[in-house]
Structure 1
Amino acid sequence: MADTPSSLPRRRTPRASPAADPTLAESSLFSANGAAVVRVKKIFAAEGSTFFVVLGTALFLTVFGLVMVLSSSSVEQYVATHDFFGAFVRQGIFAAIGVPLMLIATRAPVSFWQKYSWHFLGLALFLQLLVFTPLGVDIQGNRNWIHIGSFSAQPSEFLKLALAIWIGAILVRKQNKLADWKQVAVPLVPVVLIAVALVMRGGDLGTTLIILMEVGVAVFLAGVPLRFLVVPLIAILVMIPVVTLGGNSRTSRISAWLSGCSTAEAYQSTCWQTTHGIWALASGGVFGVGLGNSKAKWSWLPEADNDFIFAIIGEELGLIGACVVLGLFIVLAVSFFKVVRRSDDAFVRITTGAIMMWLIGQAFVNVAVVLGLLPVLGVPLPLISAGGSSLIFALLAIGVVLSFVRQSPTSSIPAAPARETVGSLR
């Protein structure tokens, strides 16, 4: 019986392996690489040059701050605890907390910050109120810290961030009502007054000024008519001298600053810190005395690792090192300004502008104090000075801005087109 085609055994066509067929291997490799590239681009979607400039600058300043905290605090730490690395280790722990929080914040959508703005503000005000409970502690005449066991924090740093987000969310909702001063004033004015009163009650004039600057920039970027700002500005100008002269320590510091620290008594008391800060800067010259070789940190300059760390930078790294630090803050300012200018979202513009005023304004206030251009106000240099609350919330604020940059249409990266495999060619 002749074999029919159906009865014949089927001949199996050997399937070409990638090793036997170089063309197929190349096609598979292209497909795999293409899929991997698409996955990576999905993970880092919308990261343009501004994103990486801000992220890189923030990380560099944080690492640089760790180095300078170690250098400026080692002597005092050894005298107090026989451990050169005490302040450095603490600052490293804070950086290890702040950097992941910043990276997590970059993934949050803009709607998240708007939705929970009231929650952030309520929590920040609650923590600020704890300053006036038995948990609060006085440090050099300022009652702006809470202490629980071995943990201490400064709630006003969180309050700066919460106010920036909250003001942005409130003013966006009132975009069509900004011509009515009553709509602008409520609830903005009462909430800001409460926040400022709580900080001032603790005696922190420096933080109060930073908050007022932050609020002023936010209101200006929101498009509030300038005539509405005249009365609050006059009230602030009248109240600042009254509040400033309300405390003995503040009065003596400002009087000594106005008189130019010309008396021997002032030099031994209120002018000691400013004078030795200027001497440290002057002794650094152009190139500095070398990292770790500061003389001012040998108990000559109080708060050498905190408010006056810029003086140690100038002494050890010279004019060049000080200018590099200032240049990096200018880079941050320009990048923030790009976000404000390019964004079509009013919330993004207002909140970014407020954060920019907080971080960059505080940096230049700190430098002005070290240079003797302003009286001692007790504000740290963001991302560099020792202090956990300042570092963590500064990094978190930068993470908020980076989340805006990620979702900005101008910085989005289009998905890569699918590679055309060789096998699909006809």
Structure 2
Amino acid sequence: MSRVFQSESSNYFLLLGITLFMVVFGLVMVLSSSSVDSHTDDDNFFARFLSQGIFAAIGVPLMLVASRIPSAWWKRLAWPMLIASCGLQAATVFTSLGVRINQNKNWLEIGGYAFQPSELIKISLVLWLGMFVALKWERIRQWKYGLLPVCIVSVVAIGLVLGGGDLGTTLIMAAIVLGTMFFVGIPLRQLFTTAVIASGIAVVFAVSRTSRLERILSFLHPGGTDPTSTGWQMQQSDFGLARGGIFGVGLGNSTSKWNWLPAASTDFIFSIIGEELGLIGAIVVLGLFVFLAVVLIRIMNANTDPFARTVTAAVTVWLIGQALVNIGVVLGLVPTLGVPLPLISSGGTALISSLFGIGVVLSFTRTTSPKKARKAQPR
């Protein structure tokens, strides 16, 4: 229990500060980008902003509570959390409790409230990877003790999400696993073979549905895409970015959000940022994620505990990788996958899971006070 009362390090305040700043910035941009859609759907310009604000009000205290929990507790909770989250995802896919949105059955509705169990699987998988690597640290580079068990467990968790049809979240989870295994030192030959197999499965799944195949073809041949159909979203995103120029049209002055750009407050919020705040605003957002990555890597390097290092690496791959995919989609560098911009896009479950993951990393930055440190020194 003494861990709970240990003092904060500089890394703690750096990570906490950048996280809170990004959440507040995200709330401002959600208010701006969602006001028209909110009025259209709920006759209230502030509906989605208030909803996101409620989730932020839940997520931030949850992050602070998580930051006080000792590492030993996270290790004990890894298996129960993974099993419970996979059970919820199974209920989403195989029972009538699952809600289908945009052809993906990835929402679970209980008591009138809907959430995404796949986001819970992300954080559970992160904790499980940390627990497993810490347990097998001495033999983690041996295929049958390291990558093979990780692949078996990960395939079950990722397969359940894939069963719901969410290819974007599936790819992010696969990246978390492979990226984390790279950070812990798994030989590149093993990772390359695994990545090739995973890529083959992803390609087969991607072309198994007409809507996904159309997105891929639109990405590969943008000039031949019907601008009034499959190419509409990317075309409107490009128009918004072009209108923004260097300095932007001003906060709240976007025209794309007036029912022109679909998913303006979620998957394509970066386009609204580029339109309203211009190239400068877009660069600032990129800079925020770069700074976040630097702080997370500092925390990882400052720890000698394999569990803390692995979990921090997994959270880094998760948040930064997802941000790169989201921004890549908006810029036309990646096919449309439907993943939100971490900490900024509208989406309650995604925001809470991201804050919870950061809270776990914050718990690794706790340091002993000078007085306790002196007592702990050998005589």
Please give the TM-score of this superposition, normalised by the length of structure 1.
0.84
Does residue 358 (structure 1) correspond to residue 321 (structure 2)? The answer is no
Task: Give 2:255's aligned amino acid.
Answer: K
1:243-282 equivalences in 2 (<5 Å): 243-263=205-225, 266-282=226-242
**Which of 228, 232, 240 pairs up with 2:202?**
240
1:245-324 equivalences in 2 (<5 Å): 245-263=207-225, 266-324=226-284
**Which of 110, 120, 125 pairs up with 1:158?**
120
Give 1:102's aligned residue. 63
Does residue 113 (structure 1) correspond to residue 74 (structure 2)? The answer is yes
**Which of 3, 7, 13 pairs up with 1:52?**
13
Indicate if the aligned counterparts of 1:74 and 1:84 stay in contact, CA closer than 8 A. Answer: yes
Give 1:148's aligned residue. 110
SS at match of 2:265: coil
Does residue 138 (structure 1) correspond to residue 100 (structure 2)? The answer is yes
- Measured after TM superposition, the shift of residue 177 of structure 1 is 2.0
Distance 2:5 2:264 in 1: 39
Residues 195 and 43 (structure 1), Cα distance of their counterparts in 2 relative to 1, 3 Å cut: closer
Q: Percent identity?
A: 49
- Measured after TM superposition, the shift of residue 249 of structure 1 is 0.7
Indicate if the aligned counterparts of 1:48 and 1:413 stay in contact, CA closer than 8 A. Answer: no
**Which of 288, 295, 298 pairs up with 1:335?**
295
Does residue 124 (structure 1) correspond to residue 80 (structure 2)? The answer is no
Residues 197 and 416 (structure 1), Cα distance of their counterparts in 2 relative to 1, 3 Å cut: closer
SS at match of 1:71: helix
> For structure 1, which segment, 179-188 or 382-391, has the greater mean C-alpha deviation from structure 2 after superposition?
179-188
Task: Give 1:231's aligned amino acid.
Answer: T
Give 1:326's aligned residue. 286
Structure number with bigger Rg: 1
**Where does the alignment leave 5 or more consecutive residues of structure 2 unmatched?**
374-379
Distance 1:396 1:237 in 2: 29
Indicate if the aligned counterparts of 1:144 and 1:204 stay in contact, CA closer than 8 A. Answer: yes
Residues 17-50 of structure 1: CA distance to partner in whole angstroms, max 9, x if unpaired? xxxxxxxxxxxxxxxxxxxxxxxxx987432221
Does residue 192 (structure 1) correspond to residue 154 (structure 2)? The answer is yes
Task: Give 1:64's aligned amino acid.
Answer: F
SS at match of 2:14: helix
Residues 112 and 416 (structure 1), Cα distance of their counterparts in 2 relative to 1, 3 Å cut: closer
Distance 1:84 1:152 in 2: 22
Does residue 375 (structure 1) correspond to residue 335 (structure 2)? The answer is yes
Distance 1:314 1:269 in 2: 23
1:207-226 equivalences in 2 (<5 Å): 207-226=169-188
Task: Give 1:187's aligned amino acid.
Answer: P
Give 1:76's aligned residue. 37
SS at match of 1:183: coil
- Measured after TM superposition, the shift of residue 138 of structure 1 is 1.1
| Runs of 4+ with >3 A deviation | 42-46
Distance 2:178 2:31 in 1: 36
- Measured after TM superposition, the shift of residue 224 of structure 1 is 2.4
- Measured after TM superposition, the shift of residue 82 of structure 1 is 1.3
Indicate if the aligned counterparts of 2:18 and 2:292 stay in contact, CA closer than 8 A. Answer: yes
Residues 81 and 251 (structure 1), Cα distance of their counterparts in 2 relative to 1, 3 Å cut: same
Indicate if the aligned counterparts of 1:306 and 1:386 stay in contact, CA closer than 8 A. Answer: yes
1:168-183 equivalences in 2 (<5 Å): 168-183=130-145
- Measured after TM superposition, the shift of residue 310 of structure 1 is 0.7
Give 1:406's aligned residue. 366
Please give the TM-score of this superposition, normalised by the length of structure 2.
0.94
**Where does the alignment leave 5 or more consecutive residues of structure 1 unmatched?**
1-41, 418-426
- Measured after TM superposition, the shift of residue 185 of structure 1 is 4.4
Task: Give 1:376's aligned amino acid.
Answer: T
- Measured after TM superposition, the shift of residue 282 of structure 1 is 1.1
SS at match of 1:169: helix
Distance 1:378 1:327 in 2: 23
SS at match of 2:114: strand
The aligned length equals 370
